[in-house]
Amino acid sequence: MIKEKKLKLHDNIQFIYELALARLELDALGANFEITNNLREFKLNSTGNLASLKRRLAYFKTVDAEFTDYYFIQAANQTRSVNQYLTHWFYPYKGKFHPQMIRALLNIIGIKEGETVLDPFIGSGTTALECQLLGINCIGIDISPLCVLISKVKTESLDALPKIEPTKNDFMPAESLVFGLSDPQTSLFKERKAKKVKDDKVKNFFRLAEMIAHSDSARRKKNFQTSFVFNVDRMIASLKDYKKIAAKLNLKLGETDIREGDVRKLDLGKKVQGIITSPPYSIALNYVANDAHALKAMGYDLDGIKDNFIGVRGSGMDKFKLYNEDMLLAYKKMFEVLEAGRYCVVVIGNVTFQNQEVDTTGEVVRQCEAVGFKLERKIEKIIFGLYNVMQKEYILIFKKPAK
Ligand SMILES: C[S@@+](CC[C@H](N)C(=O)[O-])C[C@H]1O[C@@H](n2cnc3c(N)ncnc32)[C@H](O)[C@@H]1O
C-alpha cells in the first residue's frame, strides 16, 4: 500500500482566516489536498512538488513528516513572542504585520524567487524581511525616517555582522552613564560621533539600538542605558541566528531596497511583480505622535514632517477628506508600477470615529476599483488581542487586469 502523505499545521494556528490562507497557499503552490478528520492535518492527494511545499509554506509545520523551512525559521527566536523571530522584533513598532501572513500572501499571489515586491508603506519592514527569506527582492518605502531605519537594520545588518561585533565595545556607554549620572538622551550620540564609525550599516545598527532604548524608557519606564546594553546583545544574537538559519537551510536571500519617500510621488522607473501593503488605517493611529520620542531623538522637527504623513493632516471631518484624497493618489501610483496580470494586497481595518464605525474598507475597494484594480478576494481577519478585545481587519486581494 502507498503511504499517505500528510501536511500538519503549525501549533500557533488558531484563527479561521489562517486556515483560509493555509488552503489558498496550498492551492497556489499546486497541491491537491483534503482536510482530514483532525482539523490540524491535511492529506495530500497528489504529491506535486514536495520540495517546494517544504521550502515555501507558511502555515505548515510538516510536509510528509519532514519539517518545513518555516518551522526552523520561526524557532530562531530570541523573544517569547512566536512571530518575533530573527530580526522581526527590532523596535516595538505598533501595528506591524503578522510575518507568517506575509509569507503566505507571497505564496498566494504567486511571487517567484528573483521577482520584486513593493510595500509603499513599509513601516517596520515586515514585508521586506519575509521577501528576503524567500529569495524575493523587495522595495520598501516609508515617509517616516524611523521606519526607514528600522526596515534597513532588520534586513541589512546581516552583511555587517563581522563589523558590528568588534564595534560593540566602542558603543557601550561609560560606567557613569550606566548609573544614570549623565544625560542619556545626548551622551551616546556624542560618544558615537567621537568614535567616527564610517560604515552606514554599523552606524544604523547602533542608532536603532538607541531608538529601542528610547522607546523602552518612554513607554515602559525602563532605564535607558540598561536597555541599550541589553538590546545590543540581543540584536547581535538575532543576527547570529539569522546567519545560522540561512546556512542550514541554504537560503538564497532576496535583495532589499529601503527608501524614505512619499507614496503619492512614487516613481520607481520600473514595474514590480507584486504589492503587499497596509496603509495607515484612515485616521486611526497618529504615526508621528506615536513615535515622537524616537523621531525627536533622531533630530526631527515633528511639525516639519507631520504634514506628509497620510492620516495625520487636518482635524475633524476634514481629516477623512484629506485622507481619502491622499489615498486615491497612492492607489493610482501603486496601479501604475504593478505589472499587468499581477496582484496587489491591501490589509486594512475599519475605524471608529465619535463612536461610529467608519467603513474604511469599503472606501479602499471603491478607490482601488476606480483606478483600475479588480477585487479578487476579500478575507475577513478577526483576531483577539490584549484583554480579548476583538480586532477586525480585511485582506483585500486586487488584480491588475492582464492587457
Ligand atoms: C500600518 S503602517 C505599516 C506597518 C507595516 N505593515 C509593518 O508591518 O510594520 C502604515 C505606514 O504608512 C506610513 N506612511 C504614512 N504616510 C505615508 C506617505 N505619504 N508615504 C509613505 N508612507 C507613509 C507610516 O509612516 C506607517 O509606517
Structural contact between residues 94 and 144, judged by C-beta atoms closer than 8 angstroms: no
> Quick one: cell of 79?
523573544
* Parallel/antiparallel/unpaired status of strands 390-399 and 374-384: antiparallel
Residues in Cβ contact with 292 at an 8 Å cutoff, skipping those fewer than 6 apart: 302
> Quick one: cell of 277?
501593503
105/299: higher pLDDT: 105
Q: What local confidence, expressed as pLDDT, does residue 192 receive?
A: 58
> Taking Cα atoms as reference points, which of 262, 259, 261 lies closest to residue 327?
262
Residues in Cβ contact with 4 at an 8 Å cutoff, skipping those fewer than 6 apart: 43, 44
Mapping DSSP to helix (H, G, I), strand (E, B) and coil, where does residue 116 land?
A: strand
Q: Rounded to whole angstroms, how far apart are CA atoms 287 and 310?
A: 9
CB atoms within 10 A of CB 292: 16
> Among the atoms of ligand 1, which is closest to the Cα of residue 93?
9
**Single-letter amino acid, residue 38:** N
Give residue 19 CA to ligand 1 midpoint distance, Å: 27
- Chain segment 236-285, per-residue pLDDT in tens: 999 999 999 999 999 999 999 999 999 999 999 999 999 999 998 766 67
Ligand 1 pocket, CB under 6 A? 93, 95-97, 120-121, 123-124, 126, 141-144, 147, 262-264, 278-280, 287, 308-310
Please, what is the Cα angle at 191 between 190 and 192, to 5 degrees? Answer: 90
Q: Rounded to whole angstroms, how far apart are CA atoms 50 and 259?
A: 37
Q: Rounded to whole angstroms, how far apart are CA atoms 295 and 288?
A: 8
Q: Is 80 exceeded by the pLDDT of residue 334?
A: yes
Q: Rounded to whole angstroms, how far apart are CA atoms 101 and 97?
A: 8
> Taking Cα atoms as reference points, which of 51, 74, 71 lies closest to residue 8?
71
Choice from 88, 93, 121, 313 to test ligand 1 binding pocket (greatest atom count within 8 A of CB): 121
Q: Rounded to whole angstroms, how far apart are CA atoms 69 and 58?
A: 9
Q: What local confidence, expressed as pLDDT, does residue 189 receive?
A: 53
- Chain segment 350-372, per-residue pLDDT in tens: 887 777 888 889 999 999 999 99
Per DSSP, what are the bridge partners of residue 337? none
